[in-house]
Amino acid sequence: MSENKKLGMAVVGLGRGQAHVSAIMEAKGAELKAVCDLKSDLVKKVAKENGAEAYTDYQEMLKRDDLDIISICTPSGLHCEMAIEAAKENIHVISEKPIDINLEKIDKAVELFDKKNLKYACIFQNRLTSGNQRKKEIVESGKLGRLTFANAHIKWYRTQEYYEKNDGWRGTWDLDGGGSLMNQSVHTIDLMQWIMGPVSSVVGLTNVWSHNIETEDMGVALVKFRNGAFGTIVGSTSTYPGFGTTLDIHGVDGGICNNKCFVRSETGEKEEISLEKKKNDEGASDPLAISSNTTVQQIQDIIYAVRDDREPIVSAREARHAVEIINAIYESARKGKEVFLPLG
């Protein structure tokens, strides 16, 4: 595909999707053609502000012949269904996290996109921050030695009103696929397995402490990784007033903790390693150099992936891992026993 050709893009779901609209307007090599949402006043407003056409019917929007990529930003339980509909029209997709809530639907969608040679990406923008990129580099360099332990603690707070707005889809099994683990903690759980490697088993507990919802507002888990390391996960929206996110990584020769990294030097002394990552200033082929906004970076990446016929930075197949881990935690909590994840 020519580097000069601008790809036609659309966004469906204008809650989180408004950030995608802004990202498309900032990215290079694409034009926003259409936006879609059930709220007619909102979709007309966003369309007018950004020179796009407004739709309240997703199927109607898919009939356009100028769409190359669609951003799907609807409730989580609809992601793969809508992606499959786009693929049937030969349209590439970038989906908000999680890629979906059901592994069978994810596998069905991935199979279709592979068959049609279409790109299918997922927004896990936290992978692209300079700090997390640097953590990944340090672990892969072997400076921490054999990995031993990781903790992912997401101690957030959400009001009951948060769960009730937007027709109350959050905190439901059908559309959110869970609560504080699937919605809020999925980013950090993805980072944990991306840096530490595949998970072999989990033991989980869940509860509802502070909200009137179907799913959990507190989930905890003990994790075993295939490399032998242990881990812990705490994912909460009931830790008032909210205490932020922690992802720490430890090995026999060092660790990354409280945003600092210390390792054992060749002389046996403690050595601090910077977590700052130098960025490439050339943005012609590097989406990370385009903007400091990581959502813009992922939108730019899917544009380049389509243009250059390569895999996106975070493919749907890769995004599946976090969903598998979270569903295993739910299964463990229901059954009261350790749940083993399949090899693959």
B/e letters for 24-43, b = 16+ CB within 10 Å, e = fewer, are bbebbbbebbbbbbeeeebb
| Numbers of helices and strands, H then E, in the chain | 10, 15
Class of domain 129-278+323-340: alpha beta
- The most distant pair of C-alpha atoms in the chain lies apart, rounded to whole Å, by 67
CB half-sphere exposure, 233, CA atoms < 13 A: 35
Three-class SS state of 220: strand
DSSP string covering 86-155: HHHTT-EEEEPSSS-S-HHHHHHHHHHHHHTT--EEE--GGGGSHHHHHHHHHHHHTTT-SEEEEEEEEE
Q: How many residues does the chain have?
A: 344
Q: What is the mean pLDDT of each run of 10 residues along the chain (344 residues)?
A: 83 97 97 98 98 98 98 98 98 98 98 98 96 96 98 98 95 98 98 98 98 98 98 98 97 96 93 80 58 91 97 98 98 98 84
Judge whether 261 and 272 are in contact, CB under 8 Å: yes
Tokens linked to 48: 């007018």
Per-residue confidence (pLDDT) for residue 282, from 0 to 100: 47
Per-residue confidence (pLDDT) for residue 281, from 0 to 100: 46
Domains of the chain, residue spans? 7-126+281-315, 129-278+323-340
Per-residue confidence (pLDDT) for residue 147, from 0 to 100: 98
Per-residue confidence (pLDDT) for residue 300, from 0 to 100: 97
Judge whether 324 and 339 are in contact, CB under 8 Å: no
CA dist 19 and 322 (Å) reads: 23
∠ CA 29-31-35, nearest 5°, is 145
* pTM for this predicted structure: 0.94
In angstroms and rounded to an integer, the radius of gyration of the C-alpha atoms of the chain is 20
The CATH classification number of 7-126+281-315 equals 3.40.50.720
